[in-house]
Structure 1
Amino acid sequence: MKSQEIRQKFLSFFEERKHLIVPSAPIVLKNDPTLMFNNSGMAQFKEYFLGNATPKSKRIADTQKCLRVSGKHNDLEEVGIDTYHHTMFEMLGNWSFGDYFKKEAINWAWELLTEVYKIPKNILYVTVFEGSKEENVPFDQEAYDIWKELIGEDRILLGNKKDNFWEMGDQGPCGPCSEIHVDIRSEEEKAEIPGRDLVNADHPQVVEIWNNVFMEFNRKADGSLEKLPAQHVDTGMGFERLCMVLQGVQSNYDTDVFTPLIAKVSQLTGAKYTVKANNEEEEKVNIAVRVVIDHVRAVAFAIADGQLPSNNGAGYVIRRILRRAIRYAFTFLDKKEPFIYELVEVLSEQMGDFFPEITAQKDLVKNVIKEEEASFLRTLEQGLHLLDNVIDETQGKVVSGTKAFELYDTFGFPIDLTALILRERGLELDEKGFEDAMAEQKNRSRVASEVSTDDWTILVGGNVETFVGYDQLENEVKITRYRKIDSKKDGKLFQLVLDATPFYPEGGGQVGDRGLLISANETVEIIDTKKENNLILHIVKKLPSNLEAKLVAKVDTDARKQSMANHSATHLLHQALRTVLGTHVEQKGSLVAPTHLRFDFSHFAKVSDEELQAVEDFVNDRIHEQLPLVERRNIPFNQAIEEGAMALFGEKYGDEVRMIRFGESAELCGGTHVPNTADIWQFKIVSEGAVAAGIRRIEAITNKAAEDFYKNQEEILKELKAILKNPQDTIKTVVSLQDENAKLKKQVEYLLKEKAKNIKGELKEKIEEINGILFLAVEVDLDPAGAKDLVYELGNEYSNLYVLLGSVSNDKPMLTCYVSKEVVEQKGLNAGQIVRELGKYIQGGGGGQPFFATAGGKNPAGIAEAVAHAKDYLK
């Protein structure tokens, strides 16, 4: 059974049982501060389990793209080592929100596996929660009794809290679960060790394929459990593992989910992947191939869903995954040039029918991955040189773990590659020193980001929250719930939920509103507004004294109006870019703040000055046309698309959407907008540049910020005219000054060369011979370029010369060292090593080649000492 058929049979099975089939949510999460990525099938349904929203159906089924780089049984550094863990994987799932429970979930799972997929009953095992006195949760007798009728008691195992009690996080809905495991070992292996002894023992052929979670509790902040008002079912089946079982192979990587990718890697690298490695070298190649094909899936889908590699947050996770693939290919597949990007074509062919985003974004994904590969390969090359320097400085056989960590942390040079190179050179790595440095950094990060959250205190029951901020910026409200949060970064804060709020929560690129909560006796400042699990959270530093009183919620009007102008300008900018540059342009990220806007878009070349001017003019023309806002709320998604609205890849849209139109610009958007484009006043681009391969960024201003910009430019022009004595033609005067300056520079350069000639004559008289080497060490009054020219000129006259010059230019000390080729080869002097060591006297360092090197520093007073010690190398 091919993987596409396996996926479809699952969805059809549950559709026949009245489940609504929904598409996979994007792999990248935008509005959940607790998660960067969808790491399980249930992540997109959290708001339903929490009771903050009502699902469109009580029964849902789907296949969800998931990404995990850490957690239970699954750390990034282990992926590829075994054959059944992955970074990105598909999770097939069926859900019941207060509808069916254990009986239906278990019976349907059994029916699907054994009757539809025809998995032999005698290779299946199940686990049931044994109960916990500590949690006051009893043994799951109901699940046990259901399974006993289906599979028999000899194939049921009892599981502890770690394995059979599933939790969303430290707080929130949770409950006992029942896992289904499969044993696909040979009959001989089964005769030696019973399958039940290998369940949950990380055996590659005895694996969990499906977990049925029975949500019946809520975990409170103090760790206690309370019963949920309704019982839910949350199931997840690993698609890749299921394919392994149904296709009769011993590894996920031997299924047709991965074999086309393996074939392409073999074609591109010449590496031969063996189903079962016969020796250590074959296993190294196998692991490298598995790493590459697993990681390209995760990276490609993340980019297609809008997450570019970067140096922080979710972007850093994606970059880290890709770099791991690159370094495995570099070390074990001997690939020193980009090739991973070529696998995207195979992914598109394999998965594009079910996940159209990978096909639609194929060119962008390929370009981003290719550029990241090229960049990191350059980093690896640079890291090899830096590692050589570390090795040169090492005394003894053990290389400093702290130095290795600096290479890893600052330059991204992989620690396993460092260790490999050291072993090849007969050296050891101080692993403890590296681990200590890593632990210290992680601890700093953990402490900085640590947040503890109290339980909600409910003041008004039910789901009563509404957003009124599209129509009004001030409203009478009541607090429906609140909770305290403690953050190492921000200290003690409180989150409030209001029954009818005018405050726009951060989302769609637009920052959250700020403002006030006002009562007769006090005013409380709302410092930010965010959305989490369908709740709008108003963040304050103190609680109102009377939490049950009626209050007035008042948005900061000026800030909101500036944000509205910038958000509407963003839509016009998107339209302008597609008009001027082409319809290949798509939005890839944005920031809408009161002060400015930032817009990321797909485009494969620098935007020329003429194109930028055309874009700016296009937007300002739409502003001057005074186009009114046409807003359509709660219209069907498909209808909005048919009417020409643009939808963005990577965004999760509901069945009903809000459409914003200004003239010919029509987009799906939940943000706030001006009533008329005239309210934007003026649009001014302030910068344009590259963010990543194929991604450009424009930053711009409107309204008050644009007005301030032009006023500032006017002031600068006034000051410039005053400095130039108010000339009639300011530009002509500046050009004349530039011409005059260029002539003076040439004169200065000529004089400096003459000065260097005079110095050279004086220095030749100071050269002395020591042990057969002509030696000169002296302080000179030259700039770096002059010092370099001087030592090379001396080098052309003498064949066995060693020179060190000390100089100061712009208050910065510099050492310049030259060693003749003959001296390097015969005497072993090395200019790079000399300046690195003498650089400590000027509180700096440097390097270069064996025959020429320089060092800069902070302490000019140290030059004399550095010059004095230059002779030490001749002893």
Structure 2
Amino acid sequence: MNSKDVRKQFLDFFQSKGHLIVPSAPIVLKDDPTLMFNNSGMAQFKEYFLGNATPKSTRIADTQKCLRVSGKHNDLEDVGFDTYHHTMFEMLGNWSFGDYFKEEALPWAWEFLTEVLKLDKDRLYVSVFEGNEAENVPFDQQAFDIWKQFVPEDRIILGNKKDNFWEMGDQGPCGPCSEIHIDLRTDEERAAVTGRSLVNADHPQVVEIWNNVFMEFNRKADGSLEKLPAQHVDTGMGFERLCMAMQNVTSNYDTDVFTPLIEKVEQITGLKYTSNEVKDISEEQNKTNIAIRVIVDHIRAVAFAIADGQLPSNTGAGYVIRRILRRAIRYGFTFLNIKEAFIYQLVEVLADQMGEFFPEIKSQQNLVTNVIREEEASFLRTLDQGLQLLENVIAETKGNEVAGAKAFELYDTFGFPKDLTALILRERGLELDEAGFDVAMQEQKARSRAASEISTEDWSVLIPGNVETFVGYDQTESEAKITRIRKVDSKKDGVLYQIVLDNSPFYPEGGGQIGDKGTLVSANETIQIIDTKKENNLILHFTKQLPENVNASFIAKVNTDLRAATAKNHSATHLMHLALRTVLGTHVEQKGSLVNPKNLRFDFSHFAKVTDEELQQVEDFVNARIQEQIALIERRDIPFAQAVEEGAMALFGEKYGDHVRAIKFGESMELCGGIHVQNTADIWYFKIVSEGAVAAGIRRIEAITGDAVKGFFASHEELLSEIKTALKNPQDSLKAVIALQEDNAKLKKQLDALLKEKAKNMKGELAKELQEVNGIQFLAKQVDLNPEGAKDLAYELGNLGNNLFLVLATAEEGKPMLSCYISKELVADRKLNAGLVVRELGKFIQGGGGGQPFFATAGGKKVEGIAEALEKAIEFIK
């Protein structure tokens, strides 16, 4: 059975059992601060388990894209080395929210596997929770008794808390689980060693395929358990592992989930991948196999993350995606000997293979391809740079071990991988101080944790069962009661409190718009709301202090000045989106935005710089819509399909419900939950202040509206007045500036010619000052030239002979600069390196720099350090 049929059979089966089939949520989470990525099938349903929202059906089934590369669930380092771990995988799941429980879930699981898919019953093992006396959770007798109806007792395994008690994190819903494992070994292997002994023992052919979790408890902050008000079922089945079982292979990578990608890598590299059925392969072939597994796994994770709106970057989720891609590139670079971008070519195969069920990978194919190609090219340049820097480190090393801290600096600053460093060192007969590297890594992680660590207490519930209402579309203040409170201890912000109200006019951060600020006012006091966010369908109001009487009645008041300025920028963002699609083409799609009271930032797909003329057209388009005074048409709670059919723009990577809110200004119509002006005239004026690239195929525009534009115009008018004064109030300021530039260019030409002549004249004088040190012509001296003149002089002196080591210092306008010239013969024979020289000497002038092995420069801030730098220069050749 091919993989598409496996997926369809699962969904059809549970649809026949009364389940609503829902699409996969985006792989990147945007409204859950506790998770970067969807790491399990249940992540998108957390609000239902917590009782903060009501599901559209009490029975749901789906296949969820999951990513396990950070936090508690992190499989990254296992990927490639075994045949069954992945970064991205599909989780087939069926869910019951307070509906059915173990009596239905376990028999259905057995029915699907053995009667629908017809897997061999004798190869299946099941496990149940053995209980935990310390937590007062008993042995799962009910699950054991149900399984006895289908499975011999010798294939029912009792599992401990680690294996058979599932938790979504340190706090939250949890409960005992019952796993189903399959033994895919040969009959001979099964006869020799029982599969029971290999369950949960990391055997590559005895693997868990399905986990039935019974959500009965809530884990509190102090570690204790309390019963949930309702019992839920949360199941997850590894799609790739199930395909392995269905296709009679012993590796996920030998299924049709991966073989098309593997075949493409073989075609590109000319290397062959050997299936898991082939035994006794060479060490070289094993390295090739691992590298190909890494690449075909990682392309799936990276491609779907980008399609869902997460671009590679240097922070947060974007850094994780960049790290996954760089791991793939490095394996291709090191073990497949591919020194140019190639992984992007796999996107087309992936889109053809999975685009039918996951349309986002097909519709975003061009963007994904271009982003990956540019990321590859960039990292390959980094690898080249890292190789040069590694040569410098090797040159500095005394003995046969390179300091771990130095290797970590290469890794941390330039992304140069540790194992590639170790490989190159081994080839040079050197070793890496791995313990020192690990210490530096742990120190960095500790610093990172200290900066971002957050601990939360349990909620103190004041009004049980209350579901919060958002009233902020219609009012900016409301009478409210506090329903729950939680204390948050953040290393970054200190102690804060999160307050939930029975109703709130405060807009919580989302859709690019920042959260509202304002106050909670009672009869006796005023509490400042410093931010508003949403978590698991709760609106969290952040404060630095709690009210003296938390049971009082309050007036919740939004800061209307900030709200109005934000609304102008948000509505202008919609108009600009339409303008960009009109001016540049309909390929333009929003890829990120930030809307706050000061300005707006908008990221969009486009593969060329936006010209000044195009930017002016966009600006004119938006201002024309402002001049037209278009009234807002807001439609709430309309069916998603109807809104899209009527022309509403839906953004990839956003999670939409069955009913949505649409915002319309003339031809601009978008699905949006944010705050907007009532009429485009309220925006007053729209002004673009910058445009640039943020990633391959992604451009960013920053713009301002309203009072910010008034301030912008006023400051420019003041600047123009100051320029006129400085130019002695000419009749035509522009002509005066042009004339000044022309005069300056002429004078610069004359000055450059004079300095070149001066350098030539100085050559003869300095040649007499050269001294011989260890067979090398040496000179370290400060000269009265600019840096360009010093470079000319260095090259002039370099023409005199083959053994020159020269350090020249300049201090033009109080800015110290060191220039080092080394004859190429000395670079080759004596292993001298000008880049290393200026990096070390640059410390004396509080600066740094680099360049080529034969010529390099370093700039700094401390002129007084020049003398010491020149004095130390001789030590490089002593």
TM-score interval, normalised by the smaller of the two chains = over 0.9
Checking the alignment, whether the CA contact within 8 Å between 2:312 and 2:322 is kept in structure 1 is yes
CA distance change for structure 1 residues 217 and 857 in 2, over 3 Å: closer, same or farther?
A: same
Aligned to 1:185: 185
Measure the CA separation in 1 of the matches of 2:810 and 2:71: 56
Deviation string, structure 1 residues 743-765 (Cα, Å, up to 9, x no partner): 22223223323332332232233
Q: Shift of the alpha carbon at 1:456?
A: 1.3
Q: Secondary structure at the match of 1:315?
A: helix
CA distance change for structure 1 residues 552 and 819 in 2, over 3 Å: closer, same or farther?
A: closer
Checking the alignment, whether the CA contact within 8 Å between 1:211 and 1:237 is kept in structure 2 is yes
Give RMSD over aligned pairs.
1.8
Aligned to 1:257: 257
AA aligned opposite 2:25: A
AA aligned opposite 1:755: K
Checking the alignment, whether the CA contact within 8 Å between 1:74 and 1:85 is kept in structure 2 is no
Q: Shift of the alpha carbon at 1:846?
A: 4.7
Q: Shift of the alpha carbon at 1:158?
A: 0.4
Checking the alignment, whether the CA contact within 8 Å between 1:53 and 1:463 is kept in structure 2 is no
- Residue 538 of structure 1 pairs with residue 537 of structure 2: no
Deviation string, structure 1 residues 123-148 (Cα, Å, up to 9, x no partner): 00011000001110000000000001
Aligned to 1:124: 124
Q: Shift of the alpha carbon at 1:152?
A: 1.6
Shifted more, 757-766 versus 12-21: the winner is 757-766
Measure the CA separation in 2 of the matches of 1:631 and 1:16: 38
Checking the alignment, whether the CA contact within 8 Å between 1:562 and 1:594 is kept in structure 2 is yes
Aligned to 2:708: 705
Q: Shift of the alpha carbon at 1:715?
A: 1.2
Measure the CA separation in 1 of the matches of 2:446 and 2:240: 35
AA aligned opposite 2:395: D
Deviation string, structure 1 residues 394-440 (Cα, Å, up to 9, x no partner): 00001000000000000000001001111111111001100000001
Checking the alignment, whether the CA contact within 8 Å between 1:64 and 1:91 is kept in structure 2 is yes
Deviation string, structure 1 residues 656-705 (Cα, Å, up to 9, x no partner): 00111000111111001100000010000011111111111111000111
AA aligned opposite 1:223: G
Aligned to 2:376: 373
Aligned to 1:228: 228
Aligned to 2:477: 474
Aligned to 1:783: 786
Q: Secondary structure at the match of 2:100?
A: coil
Q: Shift of the alpha carbon at 1:808?
A: 2.3
Q: Shift of the alpha carbon at 1:791?
A: 2.2
Aligned to 2:628: 625
Measure the CA separation in 2 of the matches of 1:766 and 1:109: 89
CA distance change for structure 1 residues 612 and 379 in 2, over 3 Å: closer, same or farther?
A: same
Aligned to 1:863: 866
Measure the CA separation in 2 of the matches of 1:132 and 1:271: 51
Aligned to 1:524: 527
Deviation string, structure 1 residues 61-85 (Cα, Å, up to 9, x no partner): 0000000014678431221110000
Shifted more, 611-620 versus 543-552: the winner is 543-552
- Residue 339 of structure 1 pairs with residue 346 of structure 2: no
Measure the CA separation in 1 of the matches of 2:722 and 2:635: 50
Measure the CA separation in 1 of the matches of 2:267 and 2:11: 35
- Residue 113 of structure 1 pairs with residue 113 of structure 2: yes
Aligned to 1:321: 324
Q: Secondary structure at the match of 1:478?
A: strand
Matches within 5 A, 1:451-530: 451-530=454-533
Checking the alignment, whether the CA contact within 8 Å between 1:518 and 1:553 is kept in structure 2 is yes
Shifted more, 235-244 versus 754-763: the winner is 754-763
- Residue 410 of structure 1 pairs with residue 384 of structure 2: no
Measure the CA separation in 1 of the matches of 2:73 and 2:461: 37
- Residue 722 of structure 1 pairs with residue 714 of structure 2: no
Aligned to 2:644: 641
Matches within 5 A, 1:768-779: 768=771, 774-779=777-782
Measure the CA separation in 2 of the matches of 1:419 and 1:500: 59
Checking the alignment, whether the CA contact within 8 Å between 1:468 and 1:501 is kept in structure 2 is yes
Aligned to 1:806: 809
AA aligned opposite 1:249: V
Matches within 5 A, 1:344-359: 344-359=347-362
Q: Secondary structure at the match of 2:811?
A: strand
Checking the alignment, whether the CA contact within 8 Å between 2:75 and 2:86 is kept in structure 1 is no
Q: Shift of the alpha carbon at 1:821?
A: 4.5
Q: Secondary structure at the match of 2:149?
A: helix
Measure the CA separation in 1 of the matches of 2:426 and 2:152: 54
Measure the CA separation in 1 of the matches of 2:112 and 2:166: 23
Q: Secondary structure at the match of 1:257?
A: coil
Matches within 5 A, 1:808-847: 808-821=811-824, 831-832=834-835, 834-835=837-838, 838-839=841-842, 841-842=844-845, 844=847, 846-847=849-850
Q: Please, which of 582, 586, 600 is the counterpart of residue 583 of structure 1?
A: 586
Q: Secondary structure at the match of 2:356?
A: coil
AA aligned opposite 2:83: T
Matches within 5 A, 1:636-785: 636-768=639-771, 774-785=777-788
Where does structure 2 lack aligned partners over 5 or more consecutive residues?
none
Deviation string, structure 1 residues 582-623 (Cα, Å, up to 9, x no partner): 011111111110110011111111100000000000000000
Measure the CA separation in 1 of the matches of 2:773 and 2:507: 78
CA distance change for structure 1 residues 73 and 196 in 2, over 3 Å: closer, same or farther?
A: farther
Measure the CA separation in 1 of the matches of 2:524 and 2:510: 33
Q: Secondary structure at the match of 1:810?
A: helix
Measure the CA separation in 2 of the matches of 1:485 and 1:828: 56
Measure the CA separation in 2 of the matches of 1:315 and 1:835: 35
Deviation string, structure 1 residues 784-826 (Cα, Å, up to 9, x no partner): 2111111222233445544333332332333333344555566
CA distance change for structure 1 residues 658 and 834 in 2, over 3 Å: closer, same or farther?
A: closer
Aligned to 2:282: 279
Shifted more, 788-797 versus 533-542: the winner is 788-797
AA aligned opposite 2:323: R
Q: Secondary structure at the match of 2:134?
A: coil
Aligned to 1:854: 857
TM-score when normalising by structure 1: 0.97
Checking the alignment, whether the CA contact within 8 Å between 2:39 and 2:73 is kept in structure 1 is no
Checking the alignment, whether the CA contact within 8 Å between 2:685 and 2:705 is kept in structure 1 is yes
Q: Secondary structure at the match of 1:494?
A: strand
CA distance change for structure 1 residues 123 and 500 in 2, over 3 Å: closer, same or farther?
A: same
AA aligned opposite 2:107: N
Shifted more, 776-785 versus 290-299: the winner is 776-785
Aligned to 1:84: 84
AA aligned opposite 1:678: A
Aligned to 2:47: 47
Matches within 5 A, 1:61-210: 61-70=61-70, 74-210=74-210
Shifted more, 865-874 versus 188-197: the winner is 865-874
Q: Shift of the alpha carbon at 1:871?
A: 5.1
CA distance change for structure 1 residues 264 and 774 in 2, over 3 Å: closer, same or farther?
A: closer
TM-score when normalising by structure 2: 0.97
Measure the CA separation in 1 of the matches of 2:591 and 2:501: 32
AA aligned opposite 1:632: R
Q: Secondary structure at the match of 1:420?
A: helix
Q: Secondary structure at the match of 2:133?
A: coil
Checking the alignment, whether the CA contact within 8 Å between 1:51 and 1:463 is kept in structure 2 is no
AA aligned opposite 2:387: L
AA aligned opposite 2:427: E
CA distance change for structure 1 residues 654 and 138 in 2, over 3 Å: closer, same or farther?
A: same
Measure the CA separation in 1 of the matches of 2:830 and 2:550: 83
Matches within 5 A, 1:30-45: 30-45=30-45
Shifted more, 269-278 versus 666-675: the winner is 269-278
Shifted more, 733-742 versus 58-67: the winner is 733-742
Q: Secondary structure at the match of 2:816?
A: strand
Q: Shift of the alpha carbon at 1:708?
A: 1.1
Measure the CA separation in 1 of the matches of 2:812 and 2:141: 83
Measure the CA separation in 2 of the matches of 1:737 and 1:749: 18
Identity %: 74
Matches within 5 A, 1:12-27: 12-27=12-27
Aligned to 2:434: 431
